[in-house]
Amino acid sequence: PVAQQIPEKTVDSVCPYCGVGCQLSYQVKDNTIISVEGRDGPANHQRLCVKGRYGFDYAQHPQRLRTPLIRRADAPKRSDMQMDPERIMDIFREATWDEALALAAGKLKSLRDTHGKASLAGFGSAKGSNEEAYLFQKLVRIGFGTNNVDHCTRLCHASSVAALLEGIGSGAVSNPVMDVDKAEVIIVIGANPTVNHPVGATWIKNAVKNGAKLIVCDPRRSDMARMAHRFLQFHPDTDVAMLNAMMHVIIEEDLLDHEFIKARTTGFEAIKENVKTYTPEAMAPICGIPAETLREVARLYATSKGSMILWGMGVSQHIHGTDNVRCLIALALMTGQIGKPGAGLHPLRGQNNVQGASDAGLIPMMFPDYQRVVTPGVTAKFELAWKLAPGTLDTKPGLTVVEVMHAIQHGDIRGMYIMGENPAMSDPDVNHARDSLSKLEHLVVQDIFFTETAYYADVILPASAFPEKTGSFTNTDRTVQLGRQAIDPPGDAKQDLWIIQQMGHGLGLDWNYQHVSEVFEEMRHTMPSIAGISWKRLENEGAVTYPCLHEEDMGQAVVFTENFPTADGRAKFVAADLIHAAEKPDSEYPMVLITGRQLEHWHTGSMTRRASVLDAIEPDPIASIHADDLAKLGGKPGDLITLESRRGQVSLYARVDNSSPRGAVFVPFCYYEAAINRLTNAALDPFGKIPEFKYCAIKIHLGGTP
Ligand code: SF4
- Find the range with the poorest average confidence among 34-43, 84-93, 549-558: 84-93
- At 5, the pLDDT band (50, 70, 90 cuts) reads confident
d(CA 495, CA 478): 25
Q: How far is the CA of 227 from the centre of ligand 1 (A)?
A: 21
Residue 653's alpha-carbon distances to 3, 637, 638, in angstroms, are 38, 8, 5
Ligand 1 mutation pick, 14, 20, 354, max ligand atoms within 8 A of CB:
20
pLDDT of residue 353: 95
- At 603, the pLDDT band (50, 70, 90 cuts) reads confident
Measure the CA dihedral 294/298/300/304, to 10°. 170
pLDDT cut 90: percent of the chain above it:
93
pLDDT of residue 257: 98
- Nearest-atom number in ligand 1 for the CA of 197 is 5
Q: How far is the CA of 25 from the centre of ligand 1 (A)?
A: 13
For range 383-411, the mean pLDDT? 96
Give per-residue pLDDT as tens, 605-636: 889 999 999 999 999 999 999 999 999 999 99
Contact 150, 404 (CB under 8 A): yes
- Nearest-atom number in ligand 1 for the CA of 44 is 4
List the one residue out of 608, 683, 641, 128 whose CA is nearest residue 432: 683
Q: Is 48 in the pocket of ligand 1 (CB under 6 A)?
A: yes
pLDDT of residue 80: 67
Contact 690, 317 (CB under 8 A): yes
Q: What pTM did the predictor assign?
A: 0.95
- Enumerate residues 6+ apart whose C-beta is below 8 A from 674: 621, 650, 651, 652, 667
pLDDT cut 70: percent of the chain above it:
99
pLDDT of residue 77: 83
- Find the range with the poorest average confidence among 289-298, 327-336, 377-386, 665-674: 665-674
d(CA 70, CA 457): 8
* Amino acid residing at 41: G
d(CA 518, CA 483): 16
Q: Is 199 in the pocket of ligand 1 (CB under 6 A)?
A: yes
Exposure of 14 in the CB half-sphere (CA atoms within 13 A): 30
Exposure of 270 in the CB half-sphere (CA atoms within 13 A): 11
User: Residue with the nearest Cα to atom 1 of ligand 1?
Assistant: 52
- The CA R_g of the chain, rounded to the nearest whole Å, is 24
**76: cis peptide before it, omega within 30°?**
no
Give per-residue pLDDT as tens, 644-653: 999 999 999 9
Give per-residue pLDDT as tens, 521-543: 999 999 999 999 999 999 999 99
Provide the 10 A C-beta neighbour count for residue 127.
30
Q: Is 19 in the pocket of ligand 1 (CB under 6 A)?
A: no
List the one residue out of 629, 632, 614, 623 whose CA is nearest residue 596: 623
Examine the predicted complex and report whether its ipTM is higher than 0.95. yes
- Find the range with the poorest average confidence among 83-87, 220-224, 559-563: 83-87
pLDDT of residue 592: 97
Q: How far is the CA of 9 from the centre of ligand 1 (A)?
A: 22
Q: How far is the CA of 472 from the centre of ligand 1 (A)?
A: 16
Mean pLDDT, the chain, as a whole number?
A: 95
Contact 696, 681 (CB under 8 A): yes
Q: Pairing between strand 344-347 and 543-545?
A: unpaired
- Backbone φ and ψ for 572, nearest 5 degrees, come out as -120, 130
Q: Is 599 in the pocket of ligand 1 (CB under 6 A)?
A: no
Contact 99, 67 (CB under 8 A): no
Residue 262's alpha-carbon distances to 41, 258, 305, 357, 570, in angstroms, are 39, 6, 19, 36, 10
Contact 637, 656 (CB under 8 A): yes
Terminus-to-terminus CA distance in the chain, angstroms? Answer: 37
Ligand 1 mutation pick, 49, 195, 348, max ligand atoms within 8 A of CB:
49
Question: What are 346's strand-pairing partners?
Answer: 310
* pLDDT at 2 exceeding the cut of 60: no
Give per-residue pLDDT as tens, 172-184: 999 999 999 999 9
- For 543, the enclosing helix (H) or strand (E) is strand 543-545
- For the purposes of burial, counting CB atoms within 10 Å of the CB of 282, is it exposed (0-12), middle (13-18) or buried (19 or more)? middle
Residue 288's alpha-carbon distances to 285, 293, 628, in angstroms, are 5, 10, 19
List the one residue out of 434, 401, 426, 419 whose CA is nearest residue 83: 434
Provide the 10 A C-beta neighbour count for residue 302.
24
Provide the 10 A C-beta neighbour count for residue 303.
15
Q: How far is the CA of 51 from the centre of ligand 1 (A)?
A: 6
Q: Is 149 in the pocket of ligand 1 (CB under 6 A)?
A: no
- Backbone φ and ψ for 101, nearest 5 degrees, come out as -70, -40
pLDDT of residue 540: 95
d(CA 73, CA 372): 42
* SS3 label, residue 262: helix
Q: Is 24 in the pocket of ligand 1 (CB under 6 A)?
A: no
> What value, to the nearest 5°, has the Cα angle with vertex 312 and ends 25 and 277?
160
* pLDDT at 82 exceeding the cut of 70: no
* Cα 497 from chain centroid (whole Å): 21
User: Residue with the nearest Cα to atom 4 of ligand 1?
Assistant: 22
d(CA 24, CA 46): 8
Q: Is 607 in the pocket of ligand 1 (CB under 6 A)?
A: no
* SS3 label, residue 477: coil
* SS3 label, residue 367: strand
pLDDT of residue 88: 85
- Nearest-atom number in ligand 1 for the CA of 49 is 3
Give per-residue pLDDT as tens, 412-444: 999 999 999 999 999 999 999 999 999 999 999
Q: Is 18 in the pocket of ligand 1 (CB under 6 A)?
A: yes
For range 92-104, the mean pLDDT? 97
Q: Pairing between strand 664-668 and 622-625?
A: antiparallel
Sheet holding 471-474, edge to edge: 471-474, 479-483, 543-545
Measure the CA dihedral 133/134/135/140, to 10°. 90
Provide the 10 A C-beta neighbour count for residue 518.
15
Provide the 10 A C-beta neighbour count for residue 402.
24
d(CA 685, CA 692): 7
Sign of the CA dihedral running 602, 46, 481, 450: negative
d(CA 559, CA 176): 10
* pLDDT at 41 exceeding the cut of 80: yes
d(CA 319, CA 317): 7
User: Residue with the nearest Cα to atom 3 of ligand 1?
Assistant: 49
pLDDT of residue 83: 61
* SS3 label, residue 217: strand
pLDDT of residue 139: 98
List the one residue out of 57, 151, 643 whose CA is nearest residue 423: 151
- Enumerate residues 6+ apart whose C-beta is below 8 A from 493: 64, 65, 66, 67, 448, 462, 463, 464, 468
